[in-house]
Amino acid sequence: MPARETGAAQSPAAGEPDRARAEAACLAEGLARRDRRAIARAISQVEDETPIGRELLDLIFARAGSARRIGVTGPPGSGKSTLVHALARRLRQQGERVGVLAVDPTSPFTGGAILGDRVRMPTASEDEGFFVRSMASRGSLGGVASATYEASEVLAAAGFDWILIETVGVGQSELEVVELADTVLLVLVPESGDAVQTLKAGIMEIADVFVINKYDREGGDRLQRDIAVTLELTHWTRPGGWVPPICPAVATAEEGIEEVMAEARAHLAWLDGDPARRERIRQEKAERRLRVLAERVLLRRLWDGAGLERRLAEALPRIAAREISPYRWLASLPLDLAAARGGRG
Ligand SMILES: Nc1nc2c(ncn2[C@@H]2O[C@H](COP(=O)(O)OP(=O)(O)O)[C@@H](O)[C@H]2O)c(=O)[nH]1
Ligand SMILES: [Mg+2]
């Protein structure tokens, strides 16, 4: 009893939010100074979803709005990393500050070394206007690198003008990149197969700009024609009437990069051109974002609150032995918010 009344017993719990707030404020200040170590640490905090990370995201929210976010997606091996580096180089030459986030579990970024000498970027320590971060992929609850949006917020708050986000175009991640980018570049290669197949797979729909990379190879012109015809046949436009342009490129030789950048800028200008439409698109993205965040919180609370890890471990042997069915097991779970609240205490 007496222990409850002393400050010492209460201070760890009571002091925790204060400490997180103070550390977040310190990190936010580091971001404002564009301090590289603060940037790296801040991304780790948001990636790990720590209390400091959450406080930080709240603190920087108001001033993370001005960066341009370009998503670069497409099949593995299509040249996304090469293209991202070529674009980053071009932007750096124009004096723009560039942050890169790479969400590709199949080929982790190594800051340029991966690309050999031709498209080598200065390393982080050589160029303060360039920052590369490879995002870790996540376990079952988070999806692939679900903190990418949050990391882009950190980079935006650290004054990067452009944030290039590379995601490997497989399943869900394509849809995610639409939500976190202003402009999506879809990188296809002649060997991607015909455009109609790609359209059927629902991938073409996410493109604001098509990049036909590896145009030095056989079949680039045919793919370009196929995409153009497919766009025409389907009268395809992005919501709001944007017709995605098609840019040939040879990323390794830095050919066509200027044109890709020009089309990305044109798309951004188009977004800005109509304030009402821009507002609507922003709200749509914000809504999807909020739903994702809310679902994530709900899922975690329910999962933890229902003690699902433990129940799963207990049930697995019996389900495997067909003693109980998965359906009965599911029906037995205490999946309601009251249970979740009770379980958290
Ligand atoms: N021939 C050719 N090869 C390219 C081109 N762009 C990238 N590559 C090569 O394609 C391979 C995959 O590139 P990478 O950028 O890692 O692809 P990612 O998996 O989409 O990020 C590498 O060996 C690159 O050098 C291009 O325009 N032409
Ligand atoms: Mg890559």
How far, in Å, is the centroid of ligand 1 from the Cα of 168? 13
Q: Of 51, 152, 67, whose CA–CA distance to 102 is shortest?
A: 152
Q: What does the pLDDT read at residue 20?
A: 94
Question: Does 213 sit in the ligand 1 pocket, CB within 6 Å?
Answer: yes
Whether 161 is in the pocket of ligand 1, judged by its Cβ within 6 Å, is no
**pLDDT averages per 10-residue partition of the chain, 345 residues:** 43 73 97 95 92 96 91 89 95 95 61 38 70 70 62 96 85 67 92 65 81 94 88 73 93 97 96 88 84 84 88 95 95 72 48
Half-sphere exposure at residue 166, Cβ-oriented, CA atoms within 13 angstroms: 30
pTM: predicted TM-score of the whole model, two decimal places: 0.82
Sequence-separated contacts (24+) of 57-62 with Cβ below 8 Å:
57/150, 57/153, 58/24, 59/24, 59/25, 59/28, 60/28, 60/31, 60/153, 60/154, 60/156, 60/157, 61/153
Query: So what's the pLDDT on residue 199?
Result: 61
**Distance from residue 173's CA to the centre of ligand 1 (Å):** 20
Q: Is 78 in the pocket of ligand 1 (CB under 6 A)?
A: yes
Do residues 46 and 147 touch, judged by C-beta distance below 8 A?
A: yes
* E strand residue ranges, the chain: 68-74, 98-103, 130-134, 162-168, 183-188, 209-212, 246-248
- CA 92 to centroid of ligand 2, rounded, Å: 20
**Going by CA atoms, what residue is nearest to atom 8 of ligand 1?**
79
* pLDDT at res. 293: 81
